Structure 1
Amino acid sequence: MGAFLSALRRNQRLVFTPVVAKHDGALKIGILGAADIAPIALVNPARSNPNVVVYAVAARDKSRAAAFAKKHGIPHVKDSYDDLLNDPNIDAVYNPLPNGLHFEWTHKALAKGKHVLLEKPLTSNAEEAEALFNCELLSASRSANSGQGQAQPLILLEAFHSRFSPAFALFRTLLDQPNIEHVFASLYAPAFLFGSDNIRFQYDLGGGAAMDVGTYTIAALREAFGAEPTECMLADLERMPPPLDQCDVNFHAQLRFPNGGIGEVKGGLKGPRGLWPVEFPLIQVTHRPVAVAAADCHGLNGVSERDEVTKKRTVTFVNFILSPHYHRIEVEDEYVISSPASTGDGSRTDGTRTRRVLIKKETRKAYSWKEMGRDLPGEPWLSTYGYMLQEFVDKIQGREGTGVWISGEDSIAQMKAIDMVYEKSGLGVRPTSVYRAKVV
C-alpha cells in the first residue's frame, strides 16, 4: 500500500506541477508554434523551475497563439515567428514545429542569438543535421548575435527528454556494452491518436513513423550498444495509403553494430488493437554468455572454486519513455555452472563434469538521483522533460549539471541511423528543405 500511495502522489505532482517563484535572471524562453507537445515538454516543467520563464509564444494563426497563451499563462503573444525571434528580451527558443521546418527556424533563431531547444528528430535528414551543427552561428556568442548580455556560446539541444532521467542512467549502468548480442526496442502510439491529415504523414514536412516514435527506439539501440550502426539489414516500413504512401505508418527494422550485435526496432503511429497503451514502451538487452570467476558468484548456492561458470544477462527497461510516471528495470542473470562430477564415495572422476543452470532475478528502479546514490538535485516527481530542461538551463548558465547531454555529434549520428533505415526501406530519406538550400 505504501508503494501505491507513493506512486499516486508522484503522479499527481507530475500532472499538477508545483509552481515556484522565479529567480532574477531566469531564462526567458519563447515558443515557436502552439504545438500540442509544448505544455508537456516546456510549459509544465518550467513552472517548477525557478530559472525558467515561458515568456512568449507565436503561431501561424495569432488567435491560436493567443488562446494558447491565455490557457497556459504566457504573458506575451507575438505576431509571427520572426517577431518572436526579434524580441531582445527572449534568451532561448523552444522549437516544436513540424520536422521539415526544424532546420529553417532553428537556423534563424541562432542567427538572432537565441539558444535553441529543438524537438526531435533534429532535422529532416543527416545532411541538414550536419549543416546545422557545423554552421558558424554555433561558434559565435550570444552577445555577438543579439547585442545583449555577456558573451557566451550558443546552445543547441535536441530534445531527447527520455535520456535525461535517473532511470535511464541506471539502465546504462546495468549493461556490459562490448558483450551485448541483441537489443530490441518498441514503441507504438494508439491508432486513434493521429488521423491521416496529421502533419506526421506529410512527406514534404519530414513525415513518417520512423521520424516520430521511431526516433526513440533507434536512439535506444545506439544508447544500449554505445556505438553507431554499421548497416541496416532490414527495413520493413508499412506505407500509408495513397496519396500519403511516401510516409510510413509502422516500422520494423534491424541494424548491425560494430561488435556484431543486432539492434531491432518495432513501432509506429497505428498500434495494434488501436488501444493505448498497447504495451509499455520497452528496451530489452540480451548479452552473450561470458565466463565469470566462481569467486564472483555471490549469492549463488553451491558454487565452488573448481566450477566453471558463464553468465548471460538480460536487461529489460519497461516504460523507458516516461519513466518518472512508472518504470521497472528487470535484470535476469542466467548462470551455467559446470562442476567436476564425483563418484558415490565423494572422490573426483576423470574429467567428467555436470551442468546446472541457476537464474537470478532482480527489479531495479530510480525515481531520483538519490536512489542511484548521486547527490544531485531532482525530486521524484520531476518529469523527463523537467530533467532535460534543467540540463539545458545549466548548460546555458554555466553550471555543471548531471553530465547527461545530447551532443551535436550524437544528434548527427542519430539522423544518419534514421536515414539508413529509410534508404534500406526504399522510401528514401526525407527531403531537404528549400530554406537549407538557400543558406548552405
Structure 2
Amino acid sequence: MASVFGFVHRAWQIIRPPLQPAKAPDALKFGILGAANVAPYALFLQAKQHPDVVIHAVAARDKNKADAYAKKHGIPVVFGSYQELLDDPSIDAVYIPLPNGLHFEWALKALAGGKHVLLEKPSVSNATEAEALFRSPLLLQGDAPPVILEAFHYKFHPAWLLFMSLLDQPNVARAEAHLAIGGFSDTKDIRFNYELAGGALMDLTYTPSVVRAIFGAEPTQCTRCDVQTLVNVGGSEEIDAKFDAEYTFPNGGTGVARGNLRAPMREMLRPLPFATAVHKPEVISNHPPSGGGVSLPDGQEELRTRTVTLHNFIASSLWHRIDIIDEHVIRKTDGTNEPLKKWTVRESKKAYTLRDAGNNIVDSERWESKEYWLSYKYQLDAFVDRVRGRVPVAWVDGEDSIAQMRAVDMAYLKAGLKVRPTSRYYSPPVAALP
C-alpha cells in the first residue's frame, strides 16, 4: 500500500510540482524550434522548477500554430520561422525537438548564432552528420563557446547513476535493453518517414545507448539485426517499426538492444523498459559459503555470477527497481568443476533522489533533488550547469553522440536497410591541397 501511495503522490507532484522558485534576473532565455508535443513535459514543466531557465519564445513554420501553442503554454514571444528565432539576440539557448531529419541543419544554425543547444535524440540522421556537428569549429568559438547536449535524459536520473555504480564494466558478459511503446499505427507519422530519418532504431535509440553505456565501450560489430519493416508514406520500404539488434564488444561481451514502436499493450507493460547486465562468473577466493563463517577447504572454490537489472529505466521517477541477483556455486577445482553447492542472494535498491544514489556517486550536499523530479529535470540542471561553467552531475559529450550514431548505422546496415539520409544542408569537408 505504501508503494502505491508513493507512486500516486509522485505522479501528482510530477504534473503539479509544489516548488516553483522565482526566476533569477539573468535566467537563460530558451527558444523552442517547433510546436512539438514533447516539449511541455521535457522542458516547460522542468523550467518552472528551475530558477535559471525561462521559456521565452517559440517558432513554427505555421505562425497560427505557433500562436496557439504559445497561448496554451504561456510563451510570450512567437516567431513565424526558425531563423527569426535564432536571429533574436535576447535568446540564450534553443531546444530542438524537430523531426530527426531537421536536427543537423538547425543545430548547426543555432550554434552559428551563438546559441546553446539542447537537442532531442537522436541527435542527427547518421554518423556522418554526427561527426560534422559535434566536431564543428563552431563549438570552439570565443572564450565561452556554445554548449550542445543530446537529450538522453535517462542518463541523468539518480536510479541510472546508482545502477551504473553497481556494474563492473570490464567484466560484463551480456547487456540487454528493451523498450516498447504503442499507438503509432498511422504510417504517415513522421516517425515512419525515411526522408525525415524515421524508424524504430532512430526513435527508440535509447536501447543501443543503454548497452553501450553498460559496457562503457563501443561495439566492434553488429552481428545480427532483425527488423519488422513497413511501407510508409512515399512508398519507402526502409522503415523499421521493430528491431532486435545484437552487438559484440571489445571484451567479448554481447549487447542486445530491442525496440518496438507498434507494440500491443501487453508488450508495453510486460516487461517494462529494462536495462540488465550479466557479469562473467567471478572466483571469490577464501570466501565462506553464505552464513558458513569458515574458509573453503583446499580443492574447492566459490564462483559468483552477478546480474543487475534496472526496471523502468526510461521513466524512473514514476517507479523503478534495481535488482541485484548473485548466483553462487561452490565447485571442485580438480578439473571436473563438479558443483557441490548452489544458492542465490537477492537484493533490491531504489534511488528517487541524488541523496538516495549515495555520496560515493554524487556530491549530494551540492545537488539537492526531489523524489518527483523527472529525468528531464536532472538533464536541464546539467545543461544549465555546463552553460554556467559548472561541472554537471552527468553529461553526454559529443564523442558519445557520434559513437551512438555509428552504432545505429551499423545496425541498419546489418539489417539490410539504408542508413538514414544525410541532410542537404551537409557540406563535405574540402580536402586540403597538396
Provide the TM-score with structure 1 as the length reference.
0.91
Contact 1:17/1:45, CA 8 A, preserved across alignment: no
How far apart, in 2, do the equivalents of 1:316 and 1:75 lie?
A: 44
Counterpart of 2:107 in structure 1 is: 106
Counterpart in 2 of 1:310?
A: 303
Q: Is the 8 Å Cα contact of residues 339 and 354 (structure 1) preserved in structure 2? A: yes
Deviation at 1:129, TM superposition (A): 0.4
| Residue of structure 2 equivalent to 1:345 | none
Q: What is the alpha-carbon distance in structure 2 between the residues aligned to residue 317 and residue 353 of structure 1?
A: 33
Give the Cα–Cα distance (whole angstroms) in 2 for the partners of residues 13 and 26 of structure 1: 24
Deviation at 1:6, TM superposition (A): 2.7
User: 145, 150, 156: which is aligned to 1:158?
Assistant: 150
1:439 deviates by 8.6
Give the letter aligned to residue 377 of structure 2.
G
Task: Give the Cα separation in 2 of the matches to 1:109 and 1:439.
Answer: 20
Q: Which amino acid aligns with 2:386?
A: K
What secondary structure does 2:425 align onto? helix
Distance 1:90 1:340, change over 3 A: closer
1:2: which partner in 2? Answer: 2
Paired residues of 2:331 and 2:337 also in contact (CA < 8 A): no
Displacement after TM superposition at 1:17 (Å): 2.6
Residue 60 (structure 2) aligns with: 59
Partner of 1:238, secondary structure, is strand
Residues 87, 113 of structure 2: 8 Å contact kept: yes
Shift in CA distance, 83/337, structure 1 to aligned 2, threshold 3 Å: same
Asked if residue 195 in structure 1 is aligned to residue 186 in structure 2, the reply is yes
Partner of 2:284: 292
Q: In the alignment, is the contact (CA less than 8 A) between 2:176 and 2:255 conserved in 1? A: yes
Name the counterpart of 1:319: 312
CA contact (8 A) 1:57 1:84 kept: yes
SS of 1:184's equivalent? strand
Q: 1:339–1:37: structure 2 CA closer, same or farther, 3 Å change rule?
A: same
Query: 1:113-166: CA deviations, max 9, x gaps?
Result: 10000001111000100001121111003xxxxxxxxx4121000000001111
Instruction: Report what 1:218 is aligned to.
Output: 208
2:253 corresponding residue in structure 1: 261
User: Residues 85-96 of structure 1 correspond to what in structure 2 (within 5 A)?
Assistant: 85-96=86-97
**Does 2:353 align with 1:363?**
no
**Residue in structure 2 matched with residue 228 of structure 1 by the alignment:** 218
1:68 alignment partner in structure 2: 69
State the distance in 2 between where 1:277 and 1:193 align.
16
- Judged with a 3 Å threshold, the aligned counterparts in structure 2 of structure 1 residues 336 and 81 are, in CA distance, closer, same or farther, namely same
SS of corresponding position for 2:426:
helix
TM-score of the superposed pair, with normalisation by structure 2: 0.92
Deviations 1:22-51 (A, max 9, x none): 111111000000111111111111110111
Deviations 1:203-236 (A, max 9, x none): 11101100111x1000000010010000110011
| CA–CA distance in structure 2, aligned partners of residues 167 and 400 of structure 1 | 20
Worse overlay, 372-381 or 161-170: 372-381
Q: 1:327-350 CA distances to partner (integer Å, 9 max, x unpaired)? A: 001110001123799xxxxxxxxx
Distance (whole Å) between structure 2 residues aligned to residue 290 and residue 239 of structure 1 = 41
Look up the match of 1:426.
Answer: 416
Partner of 1:347: none
Given that 1:101 and 1:433 are in contact with CA atoms closer than 8 Å, whether structure 2 keeps it comes out as yes
Return closer, same or farther for 1:278/1:136 CA change in 2, 3 Å cut-off: same
> Aligned pair in 2 of structure 1 residues 244, 299: CA closer, same or farther (>3 Å)?
same
**What letter matches 2:10 in structure 1?**
R
- Cross-structure match for 1:346: none
**Deviation, structure 1 residue 79:** 1.9
Q: What letter matches 2:305 in structure 1?
A: K
- Greater shift, 128-137 or 304-313, is seen at 304-313
1:336 to 309, 329, 332: 329
In the alignment, structure 2 segments of 5+ residues that lack a partner are none
Post-superposition shift, 1:278?
A: 5.1
Kindly indicate whether the alpha-carbon contact (under 8 Å) linking 1:124 and 1:206 is maintained by their aligned counterparts in 2: yes
After TM superposition, give the deviation of residue 20 of structure 1 in Å.
2.3
Q: Paired residue for 1:136? A: 137
Indicate conservation of the 8 Å contact 2:329/2:339, yes or no. no
Q: How many residues were matched structurally?
A: 418
The aligned counterpart of 1:396 is: 387
* Residues 301-351 of structure 1 deviation map (CA, whole Å, 9 limit, x = unaligned): 46524351110011111000111111001110001123799xxxxxxxxx9
In structure 1, the gaps of 5 or more residues are 142-150, 342-350
RMSD across aligned C-alpha pairs, in angstroms?
2.1
CA distance in 2, matches of 1:429, 1:132: 17
- Which secondary structure does the structure 2 equivalent of 1:363 belong to? strand
SS of the aligned residue for 2:427 comes to: helix
Q: 2-side partners of 1:23 and 1:327: how far apart?
A: 33
Letter in 2 for 1:152: A
Aligned residue number for residue 252 of structure 1: 244
**Contact persistence 2:198–2:239 (CA under 8 A):** yes
1:417 aligns with 2:407: yes
The more displaced of 270-279 and 46-55 is 270-279
In 2, Cα distance between equivalents of 1:87 and 1:168: 37
Counterparts of 2:398 and 2:337, CA distance in 1: 56
Counterpart secondary structure, 1:433: coil
Cα deviation for residue 5 of structure 1 reads 2.5
Please state how far the C-alpha of 1:386 moved relative to its aligned partner.
0.3
